[in-house]
Structure 1
Amino acid sequence: MSVDEAVRGLWRALSSRDWDGVKTFLSTDCIYVDMPVGPTLAARGPDDIVKRLKVGLEPLAGYENHDGVLVSNGADAMYEHSETWRWASGETAVLQFVSVHRVDDDGKVSLWKDYWDMGGMTAQAPPTWLEDLAAADTSWIFDATGLI
């Protein structure tokens, strides 16, 4: 699988919230980091990365990734895209993202870093969003300091 196919396939699976499908695109030691919160709150490995993703996305009434520009240079890819988040309480947030991925020779994503605007998200999300995140399962936490 090419770098482009791996990245787009991962995001198609995520947009569908196909958790098992997401795992198929991740290497066994893949590191995922939401860069606004930093490497001390990373996740490592397909199971823990999916646990981490579910914290934000599973409670949503609707979630969709909007495809964008994908630029790759060998194993590394930068993907500019956006997401729409919809809560059952009626709020909707549109987030602009740049995701950086490294794809191994076997077509699996081994590094995934998301860059997005935490302040923009907080302004659009329900007032309880940060409290809900703070109360979520954190068994996935991995400190990736020095590894990314």
Structure 2
Amino acid sequence: MSVDSTTTATQSDGAEPGSVVRGLWSALADREWDAMMPFLADDCIYLDVPFGPTLAARGPVDIVKRIKIAFEPLSSYTNHDGVLVASGDDVIYEHSETWEWPTGEVAVLPFVSVHTVVDGKITLWKDYWDSPTLINSAPPTWMEDLATADTSWVFDATGLV
């Protein structure tokens, strides 16, 4: 795990926005799905920008379902910590991720994640990344696997983000 793990992964109420975001990413880096949920507001929207607002997720349970679709098939995941800038309720986190599949493929993805934190909870989380970098590095069946995955988490955030 590369993210500062001094933030308690179970409590975010009243914490500074930057600490809340670091706590979320610490839990995600460890793939501790239940530990991610306390950092997310009940109405939090997650937007994977390359896929657009019609494939957003809303609420801690559905956001974790969405994240798990991409992360559970990986044999290894590493978050490489980067610059975190907080201004009021807004937190921008520049980082990169290494994704490794059991079949040997590896993708190194630069990310910028933008979060809004209100009352110690993330209310909006947007991930900006280059989808061709991932698609060209992933196993040949990756897109097909995504197309047949559980989509019960889908929330159309058009007009909300």
Q: Under TM normalisation by the shorter chain, which class is it?
A: over 0.9
Specify the alignment match of 1:71 in structure 2.
85
**Moved beyond 2 Å, runs of 4+:** none
In structure 2, what is the Cα distance between the partners aligned to 1:124 and 1:71?
A: 29
Structure 2 residue runs without a partner (length 5+): 1-14
Specify the alignment match of 1:134 in structure 2.
147
Structure 2 counterpart of 1:9, which letter?
Answer: G
1:35 aligns with 2:35: no
Which of 117, 125, 132 is equivalent to 1:112?
A: 125
Structure 2 counterpart of 1:134, which letter?
Answer: A
Sequence identity percentage: 65
In structure 2, what is the Cα distance between the partners aligned to 1:20 and 1:118?
A: 27
Structure 1 counterpart of 2:26, which letter?
Answer: R
User: How high is the TM-score relative to the length of structure 1?
Assistant: 0.98
Count of residues in correspondence between the two structures? 147
In structure 1, what is the Cα distance between the partners aligned to 2:72 and 2:135?
A: 18
Specify the alignment match of 2:70 in structure 1.
56
1:122 aligns with 2:122: no
Alpha carbon RMSD of aligned pairs, Å?
A: 0.6
Structure 1 residue runs without a partner (length 5+): none
User: How high is the TM-score relative to the length of structure 2?
Assistant: 0.90
